[in-house]
Structure formats: C-alpha cells, structure tokens
Amino acid sequence: MPTSPEPIALGQRFPLTIKRLDINGRGIGYFRRKITFVTGALPQEVVIAEVTAIHDRYLEAKVHRIKQPSPDRVPPLDPRADTVGGLELAHLAYPAQLAFKRDVVAQSLAKYKPAGWQHYRLDATIGMADPLHYRNKAQFPVRMIDGHVQAGLYKPNSHELVPLTDFPTQRPLTMRVITTLCGLLERLNVPIYDEKTNSGIVKTLVVRESFATGEVQVTFVTNSAKLPHKSGLLAGIAEQLPMVKTVMQNINPGRTSLIWGNQSQLLAGQPYITERLLGKEFQVSPQAFLQLNPTQTEILYQTALEALALQPGDTLCDAYAGIGTLGITLADQAKLVRGMDITPEAVADANANAKLNGVTNAQYEVGKAEELLPKWLQQGFAPDAMIVDPPRTGLDKAFLQALHEARPKRFVYISCNPSTLARDLVVLARDWRVDWIRSVDMFPYTARCEAVTAFSRR
C-alpha cells in the first residue's frame, strides 16, 4: 500500500514554481496540491520555499533561495523593503507592476463572477513617468529608541518600529519635517508614548504636504490633552520649519489600533493647507480624506470624468465625496451637485471649497451614503448621474438598493479595492453594463490598485 506523505512542518523547505501573484503581491505556487503563498517570490520563478505558517487549506512561506529568477526581478528599490510595509513590489520591474495591477482586477472578477465578467474590457494600468516620492502624507508612530526620539514604520505584523529619515515613496520635504520634529521633541524632553506602559504623550506624527503650494500640515497625535513644552515646540517649528502652515493636536488616549482620536485642537497657524487639482483649489484640513498621490489623482479624476460623460443640465450625486474634489470639478458641467461624507471636517472643507472656487451649485452634507441617498430620493432628488468613491469595504447593501431605485443614466465607480468592486458588480450588473474598467497606479511599489469602472444603463 502507498504510504502517506510526511505531514508538512514549519521550516520545511521545498522547490516551488511560482504561477502568479496574489492580490497582496505574494507569489502563488502549489505544494502537494495545496496553494502556497510565498512572500517575495515572482511569477515564472523557481524558488526554494520555507514554510512559515500552516493552515487547513493553504500554506504561507518565504523565499529561502531563488533557483531560477524571473526576467522581471530587479534589485530591490530600497534595502528596507523586507523590513517595513509599503514596498511589497520593490523587487518587481515597474512595467510588470502595472501588468500585475490589471491582473488583480481580473483575479477579483474571476472570483466573484459578476454577469458577463469574461467579456469586460480591462484597459492597461496607467502608470507614472517617475514612480517615486509620490505620497503627500506620512503617518509615523513615534517612540524612544536607544535614548533618541525616532519616527518610522513598524515591521510587518509587529509593533517593532523601524526608524526612517528617508523613504522612496515619501516626499523629501515630508521626511525632513518629520526628522526635524523628532529633534525638537528630543531637545525639549517632551514625553514620548510607551506602548507597553501606556504612558508618555506623543504617539504619532502626521505630516501632509501640498504638491502645488509647498505648504505643510503637522498633527501631533497625543495620549492626553496635555502637551508639555508646547510653546517651545511651536517656537521651534516657526523657526526651523517656516513651510508648516498648520499645527494641530489630536487627542487619542490609550492603546488603540486607530491613529486618530475624536478630539482635535488647532495649536498654531491656519486650519487647512491648499492643494490644486484640475485647475481648482482645495482647502484640506488634517483629518479630511484626500488621495495620497496628487499627480495620479488628476489622471484618476480625468479617467472618471471621461467615464461619466456628464451632459449639460445633469443633476449629479457625489457619494463618499471627501473634500468635494470630484463634484466641484464637475460642477461647471452640471445643473446641481449634491454630495455626502461621514467626516464633518471633510464636509466643511467641501462646502468651503465650493465657495473658494466660485461654485454655487454644489452642496455637501454630513452622513453615511447608505442613509442619505435613500432619504434624498424620498425627498424627490433624482440624480441623472452618480459617482462613487467608497472606502475599501465597498458599497453598503442599503446604498446598492437605493442606487437600484435611483437608476441614474450615468454611473461611475472609483474603487481602491478590486475585491469589493467585483463583489459589488454582482449586484450592479443587474442594472448596468460594464463598458470598461481601467486601473490607475496610485501607489507604485505596493500591491494596492485603484480602478475606474464605466457603466451604461441596461
């Protein structure tokens, strides 16, 4: 009788041929007919995989050695790529990254199988001419390491901080501001948060930079309302960092995975900085959502505008509107724009931005899209066009039902998560045909993918 194979053990090594990348950028192979996800491996490679976790239906592994490298493998963009998050594809040539992001959409469609998915037109991913230093925001935890105040990123699946003074996807000015702030905190002996004892004050530095104006916004996320040596800190910022136009404190007490707390106060300067997109100016407050890559945001929005094909006299609903960037950009072509967002600061920014740009036919309201859209429809609002840009969780069921009832003639979905996009398409494909899906590379060297879907009503 044939003997059963030995059970797979942690640390076991075996040769593996990599078939493709999964949606998180890990290589996929099959060992004893069991799917194996290998961090750091690329399609067409033969690797010696080392098992790091065993599950009922799959294995996780890392690359012990590469026997046959992929033609798309390149030297890692940064030596810290394996140490911190945000550079999952640092070893993959950029054209192959773009192809992968289109494939992520295809994988998601194949998993959920919305009606007609095999015939959807998937356009090539739009990449960047220079895919470096593209992020306009950094949110770095702050800790005491070897007697010094350091800010950086955690190692994957840990709370071990890797100090950073430069990073290939962050703007040099952003990193200079963070490094200078750490120096000020250290010189003034401001208490730094200790996660083990839940003591200390400063937990996180949030720095946002305007590509258009060079203005910088700084937020100290603190463990309490106290901020010792506040006056010295503000004086140091004014002297050493004149580009900083906003200094905010956000209070987020206790151990929590959330970066932001519920209470904020302006410490110095103005409550916003100004960014420009597609010829319009936008005021951005610290907690308001704005796409992290302004260069590609313009391309993303131009793609969405092309897909929407707004007609004169159309009434537009701008769902998950953030600070109103899309709706305000489109307001010149529409009769009326109504939008909503759950963040009060973002809605305040959106209404202020309408005024700033001389837009009188756009109005924004605080609330959940799945609650406000049904309410507006009951009140007689009948949008001719709808544009949605939801969070990674996708569209809520109540919103999908309201959308089914509204059935706008023109509809565009901007997605930051192909999996939830494909899931939502199962419902949306009942009312609309998918004309095309075009991915836009908002986050080079990561596995994240944004996509614009153009629909026409059945």
Q: Which residues are annotated as catalytic?
A: 416
**Residue 181 CB contacts under 8 Å (≥ 6 apart), including other chains:** 151, 205, 207, 218, 237, 241
For residue 431, is it left (φ>0), alpha (ψ between -120 and 50) or beta? alpha
* Spatial distance between the Cα atoms of 46 and 49, rounded to a whole number of angstroms: 9
Look at strands 273-277 and 280-284 and give their pairing: antiparallel
What are residue 316's DSSP bridge partners? 337, 385
Count of residues making up the chain:
458
Q: Which two tokens stand for residue 140?
A: 């770095």
Are 224 and 265 in contact by the 8 Å Cβ rule? The answer is no
Are 172 and 166 in contact by the 8 Å Cβ rule? The answer is yes
How many angstroms separate the Cα of 264 from the Cα of each of 91, 215, 221? 40, 20, 9
Q: Which of 200, 146, 150, 203 is nearest to 175 (CA)?
A: 150
Q: Which two tokens stand for residue 69?
A: 């490298």
Q: Which of 257, 269, 298 is nearest to 139 (CA)?
A: 257
